[in-house]
A = this chain, B = another copy of it.
Amino acid sequence: MSLDSNAALVLFSGGQDSATCLAWALARFGRVETLGFDYGQRHRVELDLRVPLRVGFAASFPVWAERLGEDHVIDLSVLGQISDTSLTKDVAIAMQANALPNTFVPGRNLLFFTFAAAIAYRRGIKHVVAGVCETDYSGYPDCRDDTVKALQAALNLGMESRFVLHTPLMWIDKAQTWALAQDLGGKVLVELIRTSSHSCYHGARETLHDWGYGCGSCPACELRANGWEKFRAA
């Protein structure tokens, strides 16, 4: 099985992190495809913003337009069968003591990476890029660097391949993620990500704040706003 080492598949949800990862990949690889998962997420708006983000990237950066390849959207409504509380025995209480929400799908990012690798295999793509991150710690062990590296080994054994899983945001915070976008595409890219990516848990798109759209009070908006302030102050 030969994989194109000049090609990347980006796990692209439409949020700030994955939009920055898409730019990171477009700056490095000659063919970049994107992958989204539709699993009935609370903020469906995030998924809807994937297309204008891609269009914006291509319109603003002619070199990237040539590199930007197909978009894949996989229906993962099956996740609802696993997050369903009907599956949960008494042990679920222990999980909530863990500070993980009850709808938490254990190992969700393991599934995302495994589906991504299967699609990369099909598409002959060597590099898989995802915006998982330990820094703004989410409580999810499937975002950790150890997990991603162990999974790369398992995927390569299981598919008899040599995929590389890239996580360019693993060790940087939200302010540094904005700075990375600026390095990759200057003010134009920062402005695109600020106005077209989405983080808000409530899917609020009414008000454009300094740091982008959102309700301004959910944990995702707070994280994004704080990162933006720190980036602007630097």
Residues of A within 8 A of B (CB): 1-3, 72, 74-76, 78, 81-82, 87-92, 94-95, 98, 105-107, 109-111, 114-115, 117-119, 121-124, 141-142, 144, 146-147, 150-151, 153-155, 157-161
Contact = CB atoms under 8 A, between A and B. Distances in A.
Contacts of A105: 118
A77 to B, nearest CB: 8
21 contacts: A2-B91, A2-B94, A74-B81, A74-B82, A87-B119, A87-B123, A89-B123, A91-B123, A106-B117, A106-B121, A107-B159, A110-B154, A110-B159, A111-B115, A114-B114, A141-B158, A142-B159, A144-B157, A144-B158, A147-B154, A153-B153
Contact of A1 (B78, B87, B94, B117): B94
A147 B156 CA distance: 8
Given A2-B94, A110-B155, A78 B89 contact: no
A121 B92 contact: no
Contacts of A147: 154, 157-158
Q: How many copies does the complex hold?
A: 2
Contacts of A124: 89-91
A142 B114 CA distance: 12
B117 A114 contact: no
Nearest to A111: B114
A107 B155 contact: yes
A153 B155 contact: no
Scoring A94, A121, A151, A157 by chain B CB atoms within 10 A of each residue's CB, the highest score goes to A157
A154 B154 contact: yes
